[in-house]
Structure 1
């Protein structure tokens, strides 16, 4: 009987020790998960803020080719139209030349009256429309947000929107982009263009 009680006591202590070890392992695993989540957040933000090689290449090639032009050829054609009140003027903000070209291409390809289009680069907060110092919020159904972070945006919302916005970290030009929304972007890129092809952009 003494042996049985001794074994039972030893097993009881083993259970307590195992419980303590399991708690320690669980706490350690929780700390690792928290640390990995922080690392993941940091890396996704870093990826979103880093300029991809292709965009850097494109910017450099355009800049070099521009400065290799003679001063006469550097002038913008039809610059007198920049302040022509008979034309529509749009503001476009971006430090990403590829993103700017996609916006311009999509607007021109979807325009109903191409003769009245003129682009003017400037700044405009997302989701706002500015006319002569008056700023108005855009109607939500007209301007769909979230294609850079929200995987639940419905295709019908996108198809019915006049403007789609890739806000968030998963921009369509990054490898971390949401693939289901990427075609809305890539259809406005001419992958056969020598600059795009030379900078190794892939569909």
Structure 2
């Protein structure tokens, strides 16, 4: 007979507080607690305060597993482009113009060769928000009209040594003074910075 879950509000609050210590921005405390409770029931241990040392160990293991999974997923996603056009593929301009603004900017950056990490940095959005935009973008792409006016994807690929260029761009962005570093079609580097100008104060004798 499966174990029954009997938790008092006080015990649940105590365990949730413990879960918050092991959670992170990628792992919700409540999700972590619920998975720990499932593990406790499966093992036949009562999820009570008396078993908190064992429960904390389970939480640590579950959190570590989730972090490793999130890290591997992030590496896979960031190592690939959002859109990978082949030499023969074409992206309809009609399709791009029909996209919502949030998805259109992601598509244009992806077609320019930017990775997920770079797009997330440029748009200043979370990984979850970017994943949602990409999912919507791919859903719309599947339903796109095949006979629309097209923009050849190979024109966006370029022939420059992008890997070496990006390595040279890193020092520019690492100084915390540049918001965006890029290059022109000939490979010349440039950086874009934003400065907040302070209001001019008048002196005692006026301006």
The two structures have a TM-score, normalised by structure 1, of 0.28
Structure with the largest fraction of helix: 2
Question: Structure with the greater relative contact order (CA < 8 A, sep ≥ 6): 1 or 2?
Answer: 1
Max radius of gyration: which structure? 1
